[in-house]
Structure 1
Amino acid sequence: MASPSPLSETLRRLDRVVQEKEVRTKLLDAAELACRTALPVSTVRSLLQGGTPPDDSVNDRVRTRIAALAEAEMAATGKRMSDLASDISERLGVSGYWARQVCDGKKVPSVELLHGLVEYFGVEEGEAFFTASAADALNRVLLPVLHGLEEPENDPVLALMDRYGVRSADLRAHGSLTREQLERLLEGVLRSVVPPDGGRER
């Protein structure tokens, strides 16, 4: 019997930890997830319902996701396609015509130029953002949501805060401390409960 796919397992675990339907709807908004994955909303909806996305090739994925990012960039900045293509042309040292063809989803960039587009659009996941299957792309975005809902024992920092009673005010969730301040606080807590010599018997 085949094991469940990573996405189906993530969705199963999400269903288990999310009790209220309206919360699940808010967390799994198809339009928002489509923006974060550069997938069509219809594909995201289908995947969330356990469906199978349309067959595509790696080249298809690259073309459509670059086009989706280009559309999002123009919507966010007010740039026209000619402006965006000109900007990419200057940044990556390619012709304006090529840049426009790529942004329109008509051409597939080389690996080197795809790397340049990763930097241009600020894609944290690197080239895999463009080449991953639709299910893998959605799973990548959903996993942090799942981890945030699951038991704090899965988060070593939260578990440590719970153990020593530091989390009563939920400092990290409320943003009252920076990461550095939180680290200093936890170091102080550890120093107060661990002997200076590491607990070795004299």
Structure 2
Amino acid sequence: MRETRRALAETLSRIGSLLGDGRSPGDVLDTEKLSIDTGVPKDLIKALLDGEEPPEEDVTDRIIRRFDHLRETRLRPDGTRHSYEEIAAAFGASRASLSNLVNSRKKTPPEHGAEQRPGRSGGPLASTQAGIEKFFFGQPNGWLSAEPESVLNDALQPVLATLRSAAGADSDSYSEPRVVALRTAATLPDDKWALVAGFIETLERQVREERRQER
């Protein structure tokens, strides 16, 4: 856990340094998009961006909450949710096994800072978690159970890469670094692209506002 906190702190520090002008990641990052991308509640995203530590959370509760989050945000082409039967069939499980998992614990996370019960053993089988992740991501990746700092740090890597590319542009003009940043971001998956595009748009608005004030 300490390593994931340290990694996130380093990423936030690098992003802050590249932003310059005293701006912090929390000033420009879209917390709503980050929440959708990571499965971490929006208020906890804000707290992590401010350097706070997350409250303790039962790992099984986290897995259930993120599974439910995936069904709400990674929809079928027609805009409907994937069914338990459809997901379970993809890795040889039963619909009842997923339904029982989701209904076994409360899915609504407590408010940030509220007291939570300590973690417990007896969570879902590793094969169930791996099967769900393979269905939504193409391969098991530990996303369902990963610590909030870890998934947030992963989600911020495209932003950090885009900022580094823009900072390395051969021009001090505003437009050319933006082109470099967009070229870098264009290779990202759709969900990552949405996050970086929103980030770039926020920076653009801030730059335009600063220039108006200078005039």
Consecutive unaligned residues in structure 2, runs of 5 or more: 106-121, 171-175, 188-215
**Matching residue of 1:190:** none
1:46: Cα distance to partner? 0.9
Matching residue within 105, 124, 130 for 1:115: 130
Q: What percentage of residue pairs aligned between the two structures are identical?
A: 24
Greater Rg, structure 1 or structure 2?
1
| Conservation of the 8 A alpha-carbon contact between 2:39 and 2:69 | yes
1:36: Cα distance to partner? 0.8
**Matching residue of 1:39:** 40
- Residues 1:20 and 1:31: Cα distance change in structure 2 (over 3 Å): farther
- Residues 1:105 and 1:153: Cα distance change in structure 2 (over 3 Å): farther
1:30: Cα distance to partner? 0.7
Consecutive unaligned residues in structure 1, runs of 5 or more: 179-202
**3-state SS of the aligned residue for 2:143?**
helix
**3-state SS of the aligned residue for 1:79?**
coil
Distance 1:113 1:25 in 2: 35
1:60: Cα distance to partner? 2.9
**Matching residue of 1:101:** 100
1:138 aligns with 2:152: yes
Alignment RMSD: 3.9
Partner AA of 1:56 in structure 2? E
Distance 2:182 2:162 in 1: 11
**Matching residue of 2:141:** 127
| Conservation of the 8 A alpha-carbon contact between 2:44 and 2:54 | yes
TM (norm. structure 2) is 0.59
TM (norm. structure 1) is 0.62
1:93: Cα distance to partner? 2.4
Summarize the alignment of residues 1-202 of structure 1 with structure 2, pairs less than 5 Å apart. Answer: 5-19=6-20, 28-74=29-75, 77-79=78-80, 84-103=83-102, 106=105, 108-122=123-137, 126-150=140-164, 173-174=182-183
Q: What number of residue pairs does the alignment pair up? A: 162
| Conservation of the 8 A alpha-carbon contact between 2:16 and 2:23 | no
Per chain length, whose mean CA-contact separation is higher, i.e. which structure has more relative contact order (CA < 8 Å, sep 6+)? Answer: 2
| Conservation of the 8 A alpha-carbon contact between 1:70 and 1:103 | no
Which protein is richer in helix relative to its size? 1
**3-state SS of the aligned residue for 1:92?**
coil
Partner AA of 1:100 in structure 2? S
